[in-house]
Structure 1
Amino acid sequence: MSEYKSLKTLKLEGVYQFCDYSDAEPLSLSSPAIKVITDFARRQPQMIQKDVDIDHAVYMMLNGHVRSKLVVDHDDTFLGVVNSKDLSGRRVLSIAQKRQVSRSDLTVEDVMTKKQDLHAMRFTTVAKAKIGDVLETLKELGQQHVLLMDEKGGLRGMISSSDIARALHVPVNIFQKAHSFRDIFEIIHEHGELMA
């Protein structure tokens, strides 16, 4: 028998209004950035092993209702980040074709963004910043998320464009920036897929 119990629920047939939420603080671009961070000091980060196959990783993301995970090896050493977009689409097929393997043979490590290609900010910097500052930083970087480091150099948290979009109830579009001809080719390839 489970140590947990099912809680009593109520019917909603006579309910037509929301509670008075005037005390709830509406967030805006001028709100403190600290309001939209995923703080690893309060909540354990979403992690995935580097050798998980693509299909299983997609399943884990969908059922866990998350869009990105930190990639680790078997010693929990941080290697990079993978998001749901990395796990689907032409990029996956392109990598499989280059390696002459089937899509199902690819792992998270094959498609993740490696830590050397990611950017981070000091947690103390973000603690003094506004949501708009972080959004502008993400746009400038052309990346969907930025990691946060503590004063000892450890990973303290993450902010993603999807966190900001959810908090502000608005769409947020971050366009990937190219830094090499290879990047240009991959961006065109990805955007071609979106337009097809």
Structure 2
Amino acid sequence: MGEYRAIKTIKLDEVFQFCDHYDSEPLSLSSSALKVVTDFTRRQPQVIMKDVDVDHALYMMINGHVRSKLVIDHDDTFLGVITAKDLTGRKVLATAQKKSLGRADLTVEDMMTKRFELQAMPYRLVESAKIGDVVETLQDIGQQHVLLVDDKGALRGMISASDIARALHMPVNILEKARSFKSIFEIIHDREELDA
């Protein structure tokens, strides 16, 4: 790291207030949805290879301060999405037991939400939508994030409930929707763990 240098810091003992002017207006549910889009034309998507083991994947997410990554194979083909929640708790143990594997043998591919299970929105519709419309969509589909596709059918971006919550400085609660009896059990069990 010889080409970089530490920037000199100063003490804050005589600093008591914020500057007088903010560059942007505060966001609200009525603000443009584009304000909370992670646009892959401007920022490279967070990706992870399908064969990374679950412990290493979780380590990468925690140290990268991200909650989800797009899963790809060695040809850069999009396969699905993995979240930090997918890599912890009951789902990992249940998958290990089902596949007769130890936790250390599980990979991202074993735990990810597959592409065909995900929902997406056309980017062109997001351009005229409000943040509140996106929150309503996330609640409707019962997912923490939604992918965006361009007119050519390529992944253009993503919007997550956590990004919206950070931007609005308020909680955004999205309740997962169960798609099977097993999903109902997992959702109830996860909520009981949160309440404990």
**Which residue pairs with 1:110 in the alignment?**
110
> Equivalences for 1:71-150 in 2 at 5 Å?
71-150=71-150
Alpha-carbon separation, structure 1, partners of 2:23 and 2:122: 31
User: Which stretch of the first structure deviates more once superposed, 42-51 or 14-23?
Assistant: 14-23
Report the AA paired with residue 141 of structure 1: I
Cα 1:33–1:116 shift into 2, 3 Å: same
**Which residue pairs with 2:172 in the alignment?**
172
Alpha-carbon separation, structure 2, partners of 1:120 and 1:21: 37
**Which residue pairs with 2:185 in the alignment?**
185
Question: Any stretches of 5+ residues in structure 2 without a counterpart?
Answer: none
Match of 1:147, SS?
Answer: strand
- 2:136 is equivalent to residue 151 of structure 1: no
Alpha-carbon separation, structure 2, partners of 1:145 and 1:121: 11
Shift of 1:23: 4.7
Shift of 1:98: 1.2
Alpha-carbon separation, structure 2, partners of 1:150 and 1:161: 21
Shift of 1:8: 2.2
Count of aligned residue pairs for this structure pair: 196
Report the AA paired with residue 6 of structure 2: S
Question: Any stretches of 5+ residues in structure 1 without a counterpart?
Answer: none
Alpha-carbon separation, structure 2, partners of 1:20 and 1:95: 53
- 2:90 is equivalent to residue 70 of structure 1: no
**Which residue pairs with 1:6 in the alignment?**
6
